[in-house]
Amino acid sequence: MSDNNNLVDIDDTEAQLLQAMAIDDELPVYKAYAGTELANNQTLAKMFDIVEAIKTVYDPEIPVNIYELGLIYKIDLPGEGVCNIEMTLTAPNCPAADFLVEDVKQKVSSVDGINEVNVNIVFEPEWNKDMMSEEAKLELGFM
């Protein structure tokens, strides 16, 4: 992140964080002054901490974290201490579904200021390998 006349330029990682916060499928355009909060009182620092916590969650059958796999569709902070996460699975009949949901809840609730985590599993849009980050594709041999 660089600061040009109090306007902040964001890098790819920060753009992914903003996209995770998006309500629509399109990446919204945010212009924020350094140190100010974004829409719905969501700060980049809090979202960064949440994403970092999610990056410690792995599907037991795949050696890549669920964030890089593209399983996290939306992260929302609707109120004080509440985090809502919309995610999918690599397959509807994933045997690790309950484990993944509980692991996400546990890891995200360890973020300072978060005391309630709600995880909603969705299957639209259907997950596919194009949703993985380049890092995940490299790790799994798709590039």
CA distances from 34 to 16, 83, 118 (A): 18, 23, 30
Measured in degrees and rounded to the nearest 5, phi and psi for residue 49 equal -60, -40
Name which residue leads in pLDDT, 42 or 90. 90
The three-class DSSP label of residue 114 is coil
Confidence band, pLDDT 50/70/90 cuts, at residue 13? low
Residue with tokens 């995610």: 87
DSSP, collapsed to helix, strand or coil, labels residue 127 as coil
Which pTM value belongs to this model?
A: 0.70
Reported as half-sphere exposure (CB side, CA atoms, 13 A), residue 31 has a value of: 4
